[in-house]
Chains A and B, each alone.
Chain A
Amino acid sequence: QVQLQESGPGLVKPSETLSLTCSVSGGSISGYYWTWIRQSPGKGLEWIGYIYYSGTTNYNPSLKSRVTISVDTSKNQFSLKLNSVTAADTAVYYCAKFYSSSWFNWFDPWGQGTLVTVSS
């Protein structure tokens, strides 16, 4: 079964770019949608954006100006970049598989999450 694992720096300085990668194992990234979600004590669970394996993306309007999600099918990975970070971007960042159809959609499974702290 598909498993996801986030990786990247746990500490990012204010105004810099947060960069995370999600490695997918147990299945191919091709043919599916993939997503990033974050969780902070202040804002709870917040959807960041999703990407189709072909590269089509959709982002949360509240973060759209700062977010880029990309995919590398050769490595079975997808990535998140969030620029101009502030302390408000401190959160646990999750990657997940996004199932989408005309009738239903859901996020499952999820990676274990990685804590990113924004601090100087």
Chain B
Amino acid sequence: EIVLTQSPGALSLSPGERATLSCRASQSVSRSYLAWYQQKPGQAPRLLIYGASSRATGIPDRFSGSGSGTDFNLTISRLEPEDFAVYYCQQYDSPPPVFTFGPGTKVDIK
């Protein structure tokens, strides 16, 4: 099973700053099957990025994804107050089909 590790575990930044979140896989992951989600307290996760770099519908362009192989990044170019949340990466592997999530990176206000 592919294990995803996210770093840092937590990030304290100010609005307007740039955030770079890392997701590392224990084995190579297809770019097509790497996604990022945002979760706010008391809410379900929300899809941000699919295919490693494609923004989901309605996601602002300050969010961008990059990477390949075992190393992927989510970048938030300028943090808005509503961006302080936990971010998860997720991958798909087969056979058999298995989806795994990283442990998350919490972005909070400095």
A-to-B contact residues, CB < 8 Å: 44-47, 50, 58, 60-61, 94, 96, 103-113
Contacts and interface: CB of A to CB of B under 8 A. Distances in A.
The 4 closest A-B pairs by CB, nearest first: A110-B44, A108-B47, A45-B101, A47-B99
A79 B40 CA distance: 26
A115 B102 CA distance: 21
B16 interface: no
Given A96-B44, A107-B37, 11 more contacts: A47-B101, A58-B97, A103-B32, A103-B51, A104-B51, A105-B35, A105-B92, A106-B50, A108-B46, A112-B44, A113-B44
Interface residues of B, number: 25
Given A60-B98, A105-B92, A112 B43 contact: yes
Given A106-B47, A110-B44, A111-B44, A44 B33 contact: no
